[in-house]
Amino acid sequence: MTKIKVMALSDMHGMLPDLRDHPVDLVLIAGDIAPEYTDYNTDIAISWYTREFYRWCKSYVSAQKVFFILGSHDHALENFYPMLWETFHSNEMKVQFLHNEIKIFRKEGRELSVYGTEYNLNNGNHSFSKTDRELNKIYMKNNEFVDIVLSHEAPYGFSDTNNQTEAAGYQGVHHGSQALRRYIQRMEPEVVIHGKYHSATHFKEKLQDTDIYNVCLMDENHELTFKPLIFEI
């Protein structure tokens, strides 16, 4: 079976690394891509994604396709994401935006399905936030098997702590979604990619037969600390 080489990263907050020395087939980005000055200005946010981000994907990312979702800091696009969807939704484009949907990546007759969702648990002043009950309703509608889940939120108990900034007595507290965890247990995707929790663990974790990775590049001080994940599937 044809192997597909994947790079995954998240939470760059405007710091876009040069990835030309790491050629892969598919790049997956799990949200919070844009700099903070775009958080609450829709025109600036749309301009940044369609210019700076698109230029970076074309010039500094060595991949056939880039699939990306939004994240918990994209407040300006919470009600205007269709403008981004119209720009980055064509299957013919190198850069494609996923909004709670499944996209297929194809290579030499092999199909790799990716479910991308920006929805995350409302444990802060976050965009695209839902209660866990609301998240459960969203995930329950997805009964189609996928190879990879690309989520901004983490499943409960997996790389979902922020020990670097937690107050005394709260370090080690899990903040992830129980609903996402149940969805993974029910559908058993091969891989789950998530961001949001900058300083949580960055090594592979397992839930049943599913590999789970936190792929944030920045730590809680917004310094580029971690490297993109590269794997084959």
How confident is the model at residue 169, as a pLDDT? 46
How confident is the model at residue 82, as a pLDDT? 83
Q: Is 66 exposed, middle or buried (0-12, 13-18, 19+ CB in 10 A)?
A: buried
Query: Within 10 A of 15 (CB to CB), how many other CB atoms are there?
Result: 13
* Long-range pairs, 223-229, Cβ under 8 A, ≥24: 224/12, 224/15, 224/17, 226/202, 228/7, 228/8, 228/9, 228/17, 228/19, 228/22, 229/7, 229/8, 229/9, 229/193
**Residue boundaries of the structural domains of the chain:** 5-232
How confident is the model at residue 206, as a pLDDT? 97
Architecture of domain 5-232 in CATH?
A: 4-Layer Sandwich (3.60)
Sheet of strand 26-29, all strands in order from the earlier edge strand to the far edge = 95-97, 65-68, 26-29, 5-9, 229-232
The tens-digit pLDDT sequence of the chain (233 residues) is 899 999 999 999 999 999 999 999 999 999 999 999 999 999 999 999 999 999 999 999 999 999 999 999 999 998 887 888 888 988 889 999 999 999 999 999 999 999 999 999 987 789 999 999 999 999 999 899 999 999 999 999 999 987 655 444 446 688 899 999 999 999 999 999 999 999 888 999 999 999 999 999 998 888 899 999 999 99
Q: pTM of the full predicted structure?
A: 0.94
